[in-house]
Amino acid sequence: AQSVTQPDIHITVSEGASLELRCNYSYGATPYLFWYVQSPGQGLQLLLKYFSGDTLVQGIKGFEAEFKRSQSSFNLRKPSVHWSDAAEYFCAVGTPKALNFGKGTSLLVTP
Amino acid sequence: DGGITQSPKYLFRKEGQNVTLSCEQNLNHDAMYWYRQDPGQGLRLIYYSQIVNDFQKGDIAEGYSVSREKKESFPLTVTSAQKNPTAFYLCASSPGTGGVRSQYFGPGTRLTVL
């Protein structure tokens, strides 16, 4: 079954520092992969998605992600984090029914 | 503005009561979904609907029921059979079915059982 794993439950970065959030997927074929962000008490907002083609995907809010088939990974990156990026981040993989989500990574941004 | 609305934002229920959560979308999307979110658990699929008058169970459908009488509406009923209903409930929609299309989420309803 298609699934994703987010190895880091919490990550803390300093404002202005670079960020990388990890996501590993399990799927035999080329997966449909997504990154979403959730602010406390809110719904989820789509940051970016990968379906095929260029393995480096650009998203909103300055985020990007790179699909690496050899490592079964789809890590999310941002060159310089802003305090407003503090939130919960979810990686998801498409299935015939819906999306399977990872358990999320909570990002804390320090001054 | 196009989007997904969920109401109410907060809901309190006594044990043994059924309660219905509303989800409406004006995106003209065919598919709609209900997810449950618990701390540290990510999102788990309760029910999904690909077309009007049709819906399918997700991974944790026990104790829940849905209807899809209109394209824009997909209400979720949490019944008294749901043993641990306190959670954050998220509704989503997509222009197509399955996981090949991006899903768009509502703001959520937080249900607390007293």
Strand order in the sheet with B64-66: B4-7, B19-25, B76-78, B64-66
For residues A82 and B26, what is the distance between their CA atoms, to the nearest angstrom?
A: 33
Structure confidence by residue, pLDDT tens digits, B66-77: 999 999 999 999
**What is the percent of chain A where pLDDT is above 90?**
85
Interchain contact, A2 vs B99, CB within 8 Å: yes
Structure confidence by residue, pLDDT tens digits, B31-70: 999 999 998 889 999 999 999 999 999 999 999 999 999 9
Q: Cβ contacts (< 8 Å) between A23 and chain B: which residues?
A: none
Interchain contact, B108 vs A46, CB within 8 Å: no
Residue A55's CB: how many other CB atoms inside 10 A?
A: 12
Question: Measured between CB atoms, does B27 come within 8 Å of chain A?
Answer: no
Interchain contact, B42 vs A90, CB within 8 Å: yes
Bridge partners, residue B113, by sequence: B13
Structure confidence by residue, pLDDT tens digits, A7-46: 999 999 999 999 999 999 998 677 899 999 999 889 999 9
Interchain contact, B102 vs A46, CB within 8 Å: yes
Q: What is the mean pLDDT of residues A45-73?
A: 94
Phi, psi of A32, rounded to the nearest 5 degrees: -95, 120
Per-residue pLDDT, B23 = 98
Question: Measured between CB atoms, does A1 come within 8 Å of chain B?
Answer: no
Interchain contact, B99 vs A103, CB within 8 Å: no
Question: Measured between CB atoms, does B104 come within 8 Å of chain A?
Answer: yes
Residues 6+ apart with CB under 8 A from B107: A42, A43, B4, B5, B6, B9
